[in-house]
Amino acid sequence: MKQQADAKFGDQNFKTAIALIELYKVRYGHYPDALRDIRYAGDWDAIALNSVAYKRVDGGYELDVVRGWVGRPTLSYPADFWQGLGLVSSNVAGVPQRMAPPSSAR
């Protein structure tokens, strides 16, 4: 039961963090230097942002899921999930390691 809860919460937190990071990029033309730079996030979004480890790198960002419900989940997504994202590295299975960032990334 705990593993299922970790996977469900980890999945939601990871996807929410990606959505907020990518929205920041659309709004400001570059990825945030740190997650605390994200503005206009909802109260529930703080849970997601505190459940991941983020690092801005040249041309994109690295994002690791560090917490689901109470533990670290094991997640995996298919190749097409990662398309069009500036995410270049993650501890989540399925991500092409050191993906080439979109050409417009800063």
Could you report the per-residue pLDDT of 34-87, keeping only the tens digit for each? 999 999 999 999 999 999 999 999 989 999 999 888 888 889 999 999 999 999
> For residue 7, what pLDDT is reported?
87
> For residue 2, what pLDDT is reported?
76
Assess contact for 35 and 17: CB atoms under 8 A. Answer: yes
Digit-coded pLDDT (tens) for 82-106 = 999 999 999 999 887 655 445 555 4
3-state secondary structure of 87: strand
Digit-coded pLDDT (tens) for 5-39 = 888 999 999 999 999 999 999 999 999 999 999 99
Of all helices (H) and strands (E), which one includes residue 25? Answer: helix 2-28
Cα of first residue to Cα of last residue in the chain, in angstroms, is: 41
Please state the domain extents for the chain.
2-89
> For residue 68, what pLDDT is reported?
81
